[in-house]
A and B are shown apart, each in its own frame.
Chain A
Amino acid sequence: MIERSRPPALWAVKWVVGSLVVVLLSARWGQFRAEARRAQAFGAPANLSQAARTALSVAAARAAANGAWALGSVDSVKDASKFELDQLPPQGTGSPADTARRVQLLLRFGIVDTNPDGQAAIFGQVCMTDPQVCEHLKDAAERETRTRLVAPGNHLPLYFVPGHVHVPSM
């Protein structure tokens, strides 16, 4: 059979470039469809503001910290609390809710700390973060201990026992 010769460029356009263009266009279409489908699921984060997305992205760390506080070991509580603390806005720059959460995490950290000096330093940080909480530190700590289901940390630490003097280091 006699094969009619075609210019190589035309052959390349037809078989290679054309196919590649079709692959890329279809891939973009596939992505578009997948993104549109996913955008409607799980809170439609693509439609949220940057701030709302950031707040949601901390939620997993917050859930883990709360779970660890409820039932976890001391190591889990400390690791998870520190991880969430690292994700909060720097002290003094966040919202009142961020400050309240920072205080809560520091309180938990202090409650499970077995070193009295470390405990005093952490409660000192609480006082620096929110002086109003500092005035009712024992009450705030007691509220936290009620939400922990396992020892240690489900009772007030010695730091709050009358006669057990500790001056928070500022």
Chain B
Amino acid sequence: MREPPAPARPVRPSRRPAVVAVYVAAAGLGYLVGGRGLPPFRPAPSGAALAGARVGWVFSQPDPQAPAQAWAELAGDVATVREAWPAPLRKLFDLMTAVRGLKSGGQPDWAQAEQLCRALKWSRCDRASLEQLRVRGRP
């Protein structure tokens, strides 16, 4: 006598796609976050020292060239260096970064430079003077 067939096991929807999706999302998130320097696998001072050196290098070049993404990342270095400067000198730092274009892809931001120059109460803030500042404001 034949035994009746065992009842079919309930079919569970496969979770594999969900697992893969979660892992892919985790990998993407990790890559994006890591590209922004988080979590700090390296000690912060090393990053600050590199930021200072990069900003210093740009100041020391007459006409530095770099890809647009590198300029965008340099903005973070500029902010790091600025934080390390004494508060009374930050406007001067901003003025120097504006005339050298450190936050604008190497192109001087004359309008902002003029504003900062006037805020510092310097006697000559016209475009010609600021162009002189760009040339002379090098290490």
Name B22's closest neighbour in chain A (CB-CB).
Answer: A19
C-beta contact mask, B71-114 vs A, less than 8 Å → 1, else 0?
A: 00110000001000110110011011001100000000000000
Cβ-neighbour of B139 out of A3, A52, A59 (below 8 A): A59
| Dominant secondary structure at the A interface | helix
State whether B53 touches A45 (Cβ < 8 A).
yes
C-beta contact mask, B116-139 vs A, less than 8 Å → 1, else 0?
A: 010011111000010011001111
State whether A27 touches B53 (Cβ < 8 A).
no
State whether A29 touches B31 (Cβ < 8 A).
yes
State whether B92 touches A63 (Cβ < 8 A).
no
Flag whether B70 is at the interface (Cβ < 8 A).
yes
C-beta contact mask, B13-49 vs A, less than 8 Å → 1, else 0?
A: 0000001001100111111111111110110000001
Q: Please, how many residues of chain B have a CB less than 8 angstroms from a CB on the other chain?
A: 63
Flag whether A150 is at the interface (Cβ < 8 A).
yes
State whether B53 touches A56 (Cβ < 8 A).
yes
Bound Cα distance from A147 to B132, whole angstroms: 11
Chain B CB within 10 A, most for which of A2, A22, A31, A60: A60
State whether A58 touches B122 (Cβ < 8 A).
no
What residues on A are CB-neighbors of B59 within 8 Å? 59-60, 62-63
What residues on B are CB-neighbors of A165 within 8 Å? none
State whether A29 touches B34 (Cβ < 8 A).
yes
State whether B66 touches A42 (Cβ < 8 A).
yes
Bound Cα distance from A31 to B55, whole angstroms: 20
Flag whether A64 is at the interface (Cβ < 8 A).
yes
A30 in contact with B122 given A2-B10, A45-B57 (CB within 8 Å): no
Chain A CB within 10 A, most for which of B53, B86, B121, B123: B53
Bound Cα distance from A62 to B88, whole angstroms: 16
CB distance from A9 to the nearest CB of B (A): 16
CB distance from A159 to the nearest CB of B (A): 23
Query: A residues within 8 Å of B by Cβ?
Result: 1-4, 14-15, 18-20, 22-34, 37-38, 41-43, 45-46, 48, 52-53, 55-60, 62-64, 66-73, 76, 79-80, 83, 147, 149-151
Query: B residues within 8 Å of A by Cβ?
Result: 10, 12, 19, 22-23, 26-39, 41-42, 49-50, 52-60, 64, 66-67, 69-70, 73-74, 81, 85-86, 88-89, 92-93, 95-96, 99-100, 117, 120-124, 129, 132-133, 136-139
